[in-house]
């Protein structure tokens, strides 16, 4: 007879398809069945920070999660209201400042002062010109690179902490 084991549940909402693909890649790198964490990734289909947080509040109301987070850009519709809604609803804000492409370029060690306007074209070659496919992240975004980047990219550190990957700790899920 199998022994039932309680799992912690985590919902992470990506602002759009690129974020969901990246989050899926990170999940595949660090989370395995039976490691004590069940991660659900959903796509808010864009619409700016406020829309993503409000959409996540509705998703959270439909199911019981131990933790909920959003990976959201700060360049569109970002305000104190967004922060307050997230805080009031116990939603962790994983900020892509100012946008997702700049965040992932920082993971790659590229100039942290690149602008949102040129980040998409700079980032595209790193994911075979299709950031919506999680498999395209495997070449440049290894487990080691993500672990190393957490000291200079706070959002990656926050994401890995939500996944239970503590800095300097031995990995237990993979």
Q: Per-residue confidence of the chain (174 residues) as pLDDT tens digits?
A: 555 566 899 999 999 999 999 999 999 999 988 889 999 999 999 999 999 999 999 999 999 999 999 999 999 899 999 999 999 999 999 999 999 999 999 999 987 678 888 888 999 999 999 999 999 999 999 999 999 999 999 999 999 999 999 875 544 554
Helix/strand/coil for 62: helix
- Predicted TM-score (pTM) of the model is 0.92
Q: In this structure, which topology does domain 8-162 adopt according to CATH?
A: Rossmann fold (3.40.50)
Phi-psi region of 45 (alpha: psi -120 to 50; beta: other; left: phi over 0): left
Q: For the chain, what are the domain ranges?
A: 8-162
* CA 149 – CA 153 distance, rounded (Å): 6
């Amino acid at each position: 007879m199998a022994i039932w084991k309680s799992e912690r549940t985590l919902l992470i909402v990506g602002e759009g398809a690129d974020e969901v693909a990246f989050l899926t890649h990170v999940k595949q790198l660090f989370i395995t069945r039976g490691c004590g964490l069940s991660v659900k990734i959903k796509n808010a289909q864009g619409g700016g920070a406020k829309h993503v947080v409000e959409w996540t509040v509705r998703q959270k109301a439909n199911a019981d999660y131990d933790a909920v987070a959003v990976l959201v850009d700060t360049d569109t519709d970002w305000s104190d209201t967004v922060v307050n809604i997230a805080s009031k609803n116990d939603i962790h804000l994983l900020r892509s400042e100012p946008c997702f492409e700049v965040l992932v370029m920082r993971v790659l060690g590229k100039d942290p002062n690149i602008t949102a306007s040129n980040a998409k074209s700079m980032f595209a070659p790193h994911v075979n010109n299709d950031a919506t496919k999680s498999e395209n992240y495997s070449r440049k975004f290894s487990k080691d690179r993500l672990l190393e980047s957490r000291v200079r990219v706070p959002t990656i550190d926050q994401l890995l902490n939500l996944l239970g990957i503590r800095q300097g700790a031995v990995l237990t899920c993979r």
